[in-house]
């Protein structure tokens, strides 16, 4: 079966999380993504991990998570020979993605103005932390730093907690999604008109756009969100919306008609709170009252009672239990693939179905420069020249130990 | 200037947050989005708000935030005349988006199989909470419920907190982004081949894919993330990564070389922790030691010292202060538009730049059925018939009071 982005070639100069996630999404739908890595050492994310632990000796789960469906070319892009190779690849490329600090690519001869001379139809997407210019231009644009400036740290948890970091790379990942959104729109436009263009995304704008509803409320209603002191699930919502401890775990109750919830909880006296304003104003107190009752039964017992009354409830999973959740199993959310060094690894599947052009995981994350020789062959280099480029350290190919 | 999705018509049957955000993104890049709303009352998000407060009497900030750049057609899609109109619109549509529970659209005669008979090139995107079938099919698929099942509630805050809800509609919004990613890829494919297709997205798979790096680590390193008890910013990271109270606010410190940070903090004895394993294992204790020092100066003082040493730091903004942040001002992140009823409203700008086809905010969120007459005229209805449809309550057009 065909894939939606078959025939699209992406030249990917990005590293760490944001750019690699964006290009992985294109690879998942069939684009040929050539990951241009630093000669020898590769993407610096290969040297970062969690808990100071590694897979198969020295492979990073962080790197592996965001680099499937790509081919790797490890190359010294500052060398003359390296530049010749990159320029040659640009001729056949549709999309370039990079996430260096603004200006770095241009200084190396790979800015949009340089590359569009070679290929006027190129779609060139740069991602920065803060924007392509402005007062924070030279500041580090790491995810948690951008979360901090974007206001996102004041949206979760309790008010008395102070800032609460969102435990995923929120800004990197949302900007990756926005980058793909812009790139695919540009590809569509190029099909219609033949015209390429430059796209500039940044983590800060993506992080704020992700809080669009909050900002719309704050700026147009003139009222700031104050986080609750209880486990009410959103600063703008009243009880019962939130999470509740049970006898053996946690239960989430979303928007649910109060009288029905009172019926489920079995304490008719709670009808005294049956007023939207009271449920908002006294949410912390009401949360506590509800939780005293939810503590008396297990999560499954509450699910049975409450789902039976059409209340909006769910259990709270620990991350380690998610792969066993019946719906997750049904959805085939996790699949095994083979990695040349780590053997069988489990990866998260493409999160949607396309009837005509399904996403596919065809390749694990590459070794450093693994596909260097085949990529150079494709653009006309012979075996002898490739050996020479290897021995001169213009390109490198990692050997599996 | 042209827009990337000019000429693309989206027929949008969705309501609440997920679908409307997806179609708004297409409208931001120039697609003609026709929002098909319930005759009379419209999108049910129009009746939901925060703090039990409203804009201009009865307008919802939640609705307004996700529905700019759309035209509204309020119509009884169950009536025979209504169905004729929808089928006529399908002939000219490129994309259909809906987020009813699985099966509802088909029962009404608007499933993919029905609509592709009218327009074989249609791209039809359905979003559900849990998946298009499986054990949770009939369960409510609201954002916080899906966060709960996806493991996301165990990623932020402190371990002793139990579940910590992420204070944005994480699953809705990420699935909106994934839906746009799939739809635009399908549009590109249709340009190449003429073929339409059906896309099925769901909140649960999107929420898990958003934690891809966590799941890759858990499943392949065999170790579960445990949240810290301090304000270390990610369960997998060691000190100093996290947020710190200062004399007048909060400071975030991301990955920074320990010796340089020790220099900035001015206490050489801290060099005894200069070991990655120790910085991970004793992160809570070390966080506390650092915070005692950060409390002695203001955030701006620390920024000056630490940015001067190339440390990765940023201030933490409250949401209410974000619009005054110098980089946010520079980026023109917030812009004013005119709303027919609320007057001037402030909205979040499109979060990226496209050199050839910039995003534009051309319309505020519509009144219920505001564009009903003009849309029907475009497909050949005359004024008399439109009046008849109005008087028979097949369509409705809200009057501004």
Q: State the average pLDDT over residues B111-116.
A: 98
Q: State the average pLDDT over residues A129-150.
A: 96
Pull the structure tokens for residue A143: 């995810």
Give B 130-159 residues with CB within 8 A of chain A. Answer: 130-136, 139-140, 142-158
Pull the structure tokens for residue A102: 């603004």
Q: Tokens 């018509």 identify what position?
A: B9
Chain A: give the shortest CA distance to residue B60, in Å.
Answer: 9
Share of chain A above pLDDT 90, in %: 98
Going across the sheet that includes B9-12, the strands are A352-354, B197-202, B123-128, B95-98, B9-12, B32-38, B70-75, B395-396
Where are the domains positioned within chain A?
Answer: 9-210+352-396
Position B400 confidence tier, pLDDT thresholds 50, 70, 90: confident
Tell me which chain B residues have a C-beta less than 8 angstroms from the C-beta of A350. 209
Tell me which chain A residues have a C-beta less than 8 angstroms from the C-beta of B57. none
Other CB atoms within a 10 A radius of the CB of residue B305 amount to: 16
Does pLDDT of A59 surpass 90?
yes
Q: In terms of CATH, what superfamily is A9-210+352-396?
A: Crotonobetainyl-coa:carnitine coa-transferase; domain 1 (3.40.50.10540)
pLDDT the model gives residue A232 = 96
A384 touches chain B (CB under 8 A): no
Q: State the average pLDDT over residues A198-227.
A: 96
A166-170, A320-324, B198-202, B296-300: segment of lowest average pLDDT: A166-170
pLDDT the model gives residue B1 = 66
Residues paired with residue A339 on neighbouring β-strands, in sequence order: A343
**What is the fold, at CATH topology level, of the domain defined by B9-210+353-396?**
Rossmann fold (3.40.50)
Cβ contact (<8 Å) for B185 and A215?
A: no
Whole-angstrom distance, CA of residue A216 vs CA of residue B294:
33
From the list A206, A235, A170, the residue with the least C-alpha distance to B348 is A206
Q: State the average pLDDT over residues B324-338.
A: 98
Cβ contact (<8 Å) for A174 and B177?
A: yes
Does pLDDT of A401 surpass 80?
no
pLDDT the model gives residue B147 = 97
Task: Name the average pLDDT for chain B.
Answer: 97
Q: State the average pLDDT over residues A349-363.
A: 98
Q: Is the ipTM of this complex over 0.90?
A: yes
Tell me which chain B residues have a C-beta less than 8 angstroms from the C-beta of A56. none
Residues paired with residue B74 on neighbouring β-strands, in sequence order: B37, B396
pLDDT tens for residues B114-146? Answer: 999 999 999 999 999 999 999 999 999 999 999
pLDDT the model gives residue A1 = 66
pLDDT the model gives residue B52 = 83
Tell me which chain B residues have a C-beta less than 8 angstroms from the C-beta of A328. 149, 204, 208
A115-119, A396-400, B36-40: segment of lowest average pLDDT: A396-400
Task: Name the average pLDDT for chain A.
Answer: 97
Does pLDDT of A389 surpass 80?
yes
Whole-angstrom distance, CA of residue B177 vs CA of residue A265:
37
> Which residue of chain B comes nearest to A127, CA vs CA?
B352
pLDDT tens for residues B266-325? Answer: 999 999 999 999 999 999 999 999 999 999 999 999 999 999 999 999 999 999 999 999
Contact pairs from chain A to chain B, CB under 8 Å = 513
Q: State the average pLDDT over residues B182-200.
A: 98
Q: State the average pLDDT over residues A307-313.
A: 97
Cβ contact (<8 Å) for A317 and B150?
A: yes
Cβ contact (<8 Å) for A316 and B179?
A: no
Chain B: give the shortest CA distance to residue A81, in Å.
Answer: 31
B211 touches chain A (CB under 8 A): yes
The secondary structure of chain B, three-state, reads CCCCCCCCEEEECCCCCHHHHHHHHHHHCCCEEEEEEECCCCCHHHHCCCCCCCECCCECHHHHHCCCCEEEEEECCCCHHHHHHHHHHHHHCCEEEECCCCCHHHHCCCCHHHHHHHCCCCEEEEEECCCCCCCCCCCCCCHHHHHHHHCHHHCCCCHHHCCCCCCCCHHHHHHHHHHHHHHHHHHHHHHHHCCCEEEEEEHHHHHHHCCHHHHHHHHHHCCCCCCCCCCECCCCCCCCCEEEECCCCEEEECCCCHHHHHHHHCCHHHHHHCCHHHHHHCHHHHHHHHHHHHCCCCHHHHHHHHHHCCCCEEECCCHHHHHHCHHHHHHCCEEEEEECCCEEEEEECCCEEECCCCCCCCCCCCCCCCCHHHHHHHCCCCHHHHHHHHHCCCEECCCCC
Whole-angstrom distance, CA of residue B342 vs CA of residue A222:
13
Position A400 confidence tier, pLDDT thresholds 50, 70, 90: confident
pLDDT tens for residues A258-272? Answer: 999 999 999 999 999
Q: State the average pLDDT over residues B91-110.
A: 96
Does pLDDT of B401 surpass 80?
no
Other CB atoms within a 10 A radius of the CB of residue A335 amount to: 12
Give the residue numbers of A marked as catalytic. Answer: 172
Tell me which chain B residues have a C-beta less than 8 angstroms from the C-beta of A148. 243, 250, 252, 314-317
Q: State whether the Cα torsion B275-B281-B286-B287 is positive or negative.
A: positive
From the list A197, A232, A177, A67, the residue with the least C-alpha distance to A120 is A197
Contact call for residues A66 and A21 (beta carbons, < 8 A): yes
Cβ contact (<8 Å) for B133 and A346?
A: no
A315 touches chain B (CB under 8 A): yes
Other CB atoms within a 10 A radius of the CB of residue A259 amount to: 12
Chain A: give the shortest CA distance to residue B42, in Å.
Answer: 19
Tell me which chain A residues have a C-beta less than 8 angstroms from the C-beta of B188. 4-5, 8, 184, 187-188, 191
Q: State the average pLDDT over residues B76-87.
A: 98
Going across the sheet that includes B250-253, the strands are B242-245, B250-253, B313-315
Chain A: give the shortest CA distance to residue B40, in Å.
Answer: 23
């Amino acid at each position: 079966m065909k894939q939606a982005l078959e025939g699209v070639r992406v030249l990917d100069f990005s590293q760490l999380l944001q750019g690699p996630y964006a290009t992985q999404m294109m690879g998942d739908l069939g684009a040929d993504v050539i990951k241009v890595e630093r000669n020898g050492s590769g993407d610096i994310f290969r040297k970062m991990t969690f808990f100071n632990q590694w897979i198969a000796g020295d492979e990073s789960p962080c790197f592996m998570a965001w680099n499937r469906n790509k081919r790797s070319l490890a190359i010294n892009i500052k060398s003359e020979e390296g530049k010749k190779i990159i320029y040659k690849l640009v001729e056949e490329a549709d999309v370039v993605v990079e996430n260096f600090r603004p200006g770095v690519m241009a200084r190396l001869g790979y800015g949009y103005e340089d590359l569009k001379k070679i290929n006027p139809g190129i779609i060139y997407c740069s991602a920065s932390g803060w924007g392509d210019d402005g007062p924070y231009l030279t500041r580090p644009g790491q995810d948690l730093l951008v979360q901090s400036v974007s206001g996102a740290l004041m949206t979760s948890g309790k008010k008395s907690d102070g800032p609460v970091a969102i435990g995923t790379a929120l800004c990197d990942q949302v900007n990756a999604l926005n980058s793909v959104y812009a790139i695919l729109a540009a590809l569509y436009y190029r099909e219609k008109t033949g015209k390429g263009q430059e796209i500039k995304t940044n983590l800060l704008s993506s992080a704020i756009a992700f809080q669009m509803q909050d900002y719309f409320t704050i700026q147009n209603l003139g009222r700031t969100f104050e986080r609750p002191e209880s486990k009410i699930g959103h600063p703008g919502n009243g009880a019962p919306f939130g999470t509740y401890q049970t006898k053996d775990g946690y239960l989430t109750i979303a928007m649910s008609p109060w009288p029905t919830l009172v019926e489920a909880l079995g304490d008719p006296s709670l009808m005294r709170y049956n007023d939207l304003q009271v449920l908002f104003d006294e949410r912390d107190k009401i949360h506590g009252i509800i939780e005293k009752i939810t503590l008396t039964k297990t999560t499954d017992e509450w699910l049975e009672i409450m789902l039976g009354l059409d209340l909006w409830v769910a259990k709270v999973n620990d991350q380690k239990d998610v792969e066993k959740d019946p719906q997750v199993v049904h959805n085939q959310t996790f699949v095994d693939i083979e990695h040349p060094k780590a053997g069988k690894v489990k990866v998260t599947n493409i999160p949607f179905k396309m009837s005509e052009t399904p996403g596919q995981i065809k390749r694990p994350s590459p070794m450093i420069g693994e596909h260097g020789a085949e990529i150079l062959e494709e653009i006309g280099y012979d075996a002898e020249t490739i050996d020479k480029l290897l021995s001169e350290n213009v390109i490198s190919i990692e050997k599996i130990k």
